[in-house]
Structure 1
Amino acid sequence: MNARPLSGPDYLIRGFKMLREPGIRLFVVLPLLINVVIFGTFTALTLETISGWINQVVAWLPSWLDFLQWILWPLAVILVLAIVMYIFSTVANIIASPFNGLLAEKVEEMLTGEDVSGRETIGMAIASFPKSIGRECQKLLYYFGFAILTLIASFVISPLSPLLWFALNAWMMAIEYCDYPMDNHKLSFKDARKRVASQRGTSASYGALVMLGTMVPILNLFIMPAAVCGGTLMWVERFKNKA
């Protein structure tokens, strides 16, 4: 398939459109409810803290560098939102991972007309929770390795640190949501990463839009099921038949 290298955003848009499909609405509601509960709790606990962090960073500047506030404030907001929203998404994905796998299964069956041997019922999805947790832990270990490198690079080229963190988190979003259908097909996490990396432009642009969506209030409640649908579309059309 000769597709545009930066067509990743198309998959997220199509994922949002799939949320209205009658055959998968039930499987969209479950991750959505989990997202609402976690996001509401997380926002209440961190909103004031984030504001305090940003004010402290600005207060550290000497008076003769006051003009830099106009530069540091938006950069600080981007950095904090990228990290905080990634943490929120990570917690939500860990708790909702069995249901995201079930949603990916139903979307793939709708797209291909073929049965997927995965989580066939909600009860089986709940029973697969320990396995799903193990998979999410693999993703976290992978993320922490690159997070350490990004942290070191942030000290070397500090003005670019918000962009570095955003790029890392965007890449993890692509891996996160494309991995659910691959896990359903018993692909190892290493193999899943290789398939996502085989089309870096599409994967990175997809992850970047998902990451931006997690930073927008209200939209971030719907981004998880839409991203699962979009990641499954990418699996079916781009990654499934790759050796």
Structure 2
Amino acid sequence: MHDLGVGFRYLLKGQRWMARHRKSYGFGLVPGLITFLLYAAALVALALWGDDLVAWATPFADDWSSPWLGLFRGFLTVLLFALSLLLTTVTFTAVTLLIGQPFYESLSEQVDRDVSPDGTAPESGLPLWRELWISGRDSLRIVVRAAVWGVLLFALGFVPVVGQTVVPVLGFMVTGYFLTEELTAVALQRREIELRDRLRLLRARRTLVWGFGTPLGVAFVVPFVAVFLMPGAVAGATLMARDLLGEEIAEDDDEDAEEELSPQSAGSPAPGR
């Protein structure tokens, strides 16, 4: 359970790092804003013409009597919009990272240099087109896995009691896991760590991943919130990637000051007394 709190602290540390580097924060907002506008346009179009799409896809029901026709197509329209929202939540990070590959690579490198004791950051040495190809390929694999889980959890949602209590919690945990994989991939790909090895690292410390990703998944239900949290999430995931690989993280001055002012420190006797 200790790792659960550690993961959440990495999420907070990432947001705090961005608060101290405001120029980088504005830089990191651009990909999220672009993705948000694209998704918002798609969801608005679906809300306006979703019923027409369902009617076009179910011509066999044209001759059904009332109220069955309306109930059937209404249910399918709601189901289509619900699945689209789920897909939006699952894919928002992947699409944003793909669009913002150069932005987030630069941001992650800044974090690595800032917390590295020797002030250096790993570099992949690959051309941009190659990095985009690897990122897109791996993101697609993760999205497919997440979609399979999403369909399974959606089906379990119809089970009485369990579907309204356990399944939503599992849904956020699964979403948080895949979000964390996508976000740590920015730092781990620069270290030339393949997808299979990245997943192995995450499985080895699942509670750390859930502590970081689950609260983030809850926040990412609203894509507009995700836009503002994304830069800090990338920063926090970079810090967590260093932890997963056993790399040293230099403590910043603010954390040192907090340690000095902690209740334990305040209550301990001063030297010489």
TM range (shorter): 0.7 to 0.9
Contact between 1:107 and 1:232, CA under 8 Å: does it hold in 2? yes
Unaligned runs of 5+ in 2: 55-69, 248-273
Contact between 1:79 and 1:166, CA under 8 Å: does it hold in 2? no
After TM superposition, the structure 1 stretch with the greater mean CA deviation from structure 2, 212-221 or 100-109, is: 212-221
Does residue 96 (structure 1) correspond to residue 119 (structure 2)? The answer is no
Unaligned runs of 5+ in 1: 62-68
Cα distance 1:51–1:173, how it changes in 2: closer, same or farther (>3 A)? Answer: farther
Cα distance 1:133–1:213, how it changes in 2: closer, same or farther (>3 A)? Answer: farther
1:61-101, Cα deviation, whole Å (9 max, x unpaired): 7xxxxxxx9xxx9x998765332232333221111123212
**Structure 2 equivalent of residue 20 of structure 1:** 19
- Code of the aligned partner of 1:117: P
Contact between 2:87 and 2:147, CA under 8 Å: does it hold in 1? no
**Structure 2 equivalent of residue 32 of structure 1:** 29
- Code of the aligned partner of 2:15: F
Distance 1:21 1:143 in 2: 32
Distance 2:11 2:48 in 1: 30
1:128-165, Cα deviation, whole Å (9 max, x unpaired): 24323323322321331453355256446634396355
Distance 1:133 1:158 in 2: 38
1:23-53, Cα deviation, whole Å (9 max, x unpaired): xx44433331121122123213313525876
Contact between 2:184 and 2:237, CA under 8 Å: does it hold in 1? yes
Partner-residue secondary structure (3-state), 1:225 = helix
The CA RMSD measured in Å over matched residues stands at 3.5
Distance 2:214 2:136 in 1: 20
**Structure 2 equivalent of residue 138 of structure 1:** 138
Distance 2:15 2:171 in 1: 26
**Structure 1 equivalent of residue 91 of structure 2:** 87
Cα distance 1:48–1:132, how it changes in 2: closer, same or farther (>3 A)? Answer: closer
**Structure 2 equivalent of residue 47 of structure 1:** 44
- Code of the aligned partner of 1:134: I
1:65-80 paired onto structure 2 within 5 Å:
80=84
Contact between 1:178 and 1:235, CA under 8 Å: does it hold in 2? yes
- Code of the aligned partner of 2:122: S
Does residue 60 (structure 1) correspond to residue 97 (structure 2)? The answer is no
- The match for 2:175 among 169, 173, 179 is 169
Q: Percent identity?
A: 17
Partner-residue secondary structure (3-state), 1:9 = helix
TM superposition score normalised by structure 1 = 0.73
Distance 2:80 2:210 in 1: 22
**Structure 2 equivalent of residue 66 of structure 1:** none
Distance 2:223 2:149 in 1: 30
Contact between 1:82 and 1:169, CA under 8 Å: does it hold in 2? no
Number of aligned positions between the proteins: 220
Distance 2:223 2:145 in 1: 29
- Code of the aligned partner of 1:214: F
- Rg: which structure is higher? 2
Q: CA deviation at 1:177?
A: 1.0
TM superposition score normalised by structure 2 = 0.66
Cα distance 1:104–1:141, how it changes in 2: closer, same or farther (>3 A)? Answer: same
Distance 1:76 1:209 in 2: 26
Partner-residue secondary structure (3-state), 1:158 = coil
